[in-house]
């Protein structure tokens, strides 16, 4: 009997070991469950892969500079209204309310129509009449006349006849008539002759250069001829003469009558006819 006692002890020890093993197994199983529940498997995988158990923060993109506002386009100046065409004289405007036609607001006067030149026959007549006036025109260019008294004016058709008296610097006064002719609204000096002189106009063909100078100069200088024809002056004083080989300028002043006193110039050009120098008045111009 005494010999069976150690066998019981072995059995007891064996049970104790079995119970310890079961407890250890339970503990391991519990630990494994807890390990699995807390993501331990993933952590182990990360350790095996060499990945840190702490998740690094995601890389933040580099901070971009604040986007500058789009450049505003340069402010354009307000568009100027298109220039309206200039209205010419004589145009009319229509009132938007009742359609009534109103006169144009333009203050510009209409340009005067171009002067109508005398016909060739009329030009040749003026040329011939100046040839017949060489006594008075020649003496005027020679500086022999001090003044002219301008008298009554009589008109017949396109012709104006002005009574004149030439006051010579030496010798008696000479009375006569100055004739101006209206062609197309332009007054042209035609002749100045003494009383009792020949009434015959020579038959000559006018020189084209002389006629061109007369037409152009007299068309452009109408103030004094028109004032003489309307009786605006009673005295024409000769203030000085400047004569060359082919031109002459006679300084004059006009006064009396209804027109204001004014200064001017009588311009003459010369032309040899049959070897004799003849003088032609091309214009009476206001200074």
Helix (H, G, I), strand (E, B) or coil at 217: helix
Say how many C-beta atoms besides its own lie within 10 A of residue 281's C-beta. Answer: 24
Res 256: pLDDT: 95
Q: Are 126 and 118 in contact (CB under 8 A)?
A: yes
Closest alpha carbon to 125 in 183, 197, 194: 183
Question: If you write DSSP's letter for every residue of 24-87 in order, what string do you get?
Answer: HHHHHHHHHHHHHHTTHHHHHHHHHHT--SSPPPPPPPPPPPPPPPPPPPPPPPPPPPPPPPPP
CA pair distance 46, 139, nearest whole angstrom: 138
Residue 86: pLDDT band (50, 70, 90) is very low
User: Domain spanning 120-286 has what CATH number?
Assistant: 3.10.450.630
Burial class of 232 by CB neighbour count within 10 A (0 to 12, 13 to 18, 19+): buried
What tens digit of pLDDT does each residue of 118-137 get?
999 999 999 999 999 999 99
Give backbone dihedrals phi and psi of 158, rounded to 5 degrees, phi first: -95, 10
Say how far residue 124 (Cα) sits from the centre of its chain.
Answer: 44
Q: Residues 269, 271, 274, CA angle at the centre, nearest 5°?
A: 160
The domains of the chain are located at 2-40, 120-286
What tens digit of pLDDT does each residue of 224-239 get?
999 999 999 999 999 9
Residue 144: pLDDT band (50, 70, 90) is very high
Q: pLDDT exceeding 70 applies to what percent of the chain?
A: 60
Strand partners, 241: 250
Res 202: pLDDT: 72
Q: What pTM, to 2 d.p., does this model score?
A: 0.60
DSSP H or E run through 91: none
């Amino acid at each position: 009997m005494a010999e069976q006692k150690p066998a019981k002890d072995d059995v007891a020890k064996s049970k104790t070991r079995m119970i310890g093993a079961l407890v250890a197994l339970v503990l391991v199983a519990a630990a494994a469950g807890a390990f699995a529940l807390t993501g331990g498997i993933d952590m182990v995988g990360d350790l095996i892969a060499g990945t840190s158990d702490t998740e690094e923060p995601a890389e933040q993109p580099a901070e971009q500079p604040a986007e500058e506002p789009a450049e505003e386009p340069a402010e354009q100046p307000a568009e100027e209204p298109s220039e309206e065409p200039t209205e010419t004289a004589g145009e009319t405007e229509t009132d938007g309310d009742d359609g009534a036609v109103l006169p144009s607001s333009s203050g510009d006067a209409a340009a005067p129509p171009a002067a109508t030149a005398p016909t060739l026959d009329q030009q040749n007549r003026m040329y011939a009449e100046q040839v017949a006036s060489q006594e008075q025109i020649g003496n005027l260019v020679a500086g022999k006349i001090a003044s002219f008294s301008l008298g009554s004016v009589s008109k017949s058709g396109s012709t104006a006849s002005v009574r004149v008296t030439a006051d010579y610097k030496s010798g008696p006064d000479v009375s006569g008539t100055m004739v101006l002719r209206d062609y197309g609204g332009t007054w042209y000096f035609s002749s100045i002759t003494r009383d009792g002189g020949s009434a015959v106009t020579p038959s000559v063909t006018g020189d084209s250069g002389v006629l061109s100078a007369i037409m152009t100069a007299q068309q452009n200088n109408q103030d004094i001829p028109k004032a003489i024809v309307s009786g605006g002056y009673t005295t024409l004083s000769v203030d000085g003469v400047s004569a060359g080989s082919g031109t002459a300028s006679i300084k004059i002043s006009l006064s009396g009558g209804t027109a204001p006193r004014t200064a001017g110039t009588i311009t003459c050009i010369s032309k040899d006819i049959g070897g004799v120098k003849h003088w032609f008045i091309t214009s009476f111009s206001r200074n």
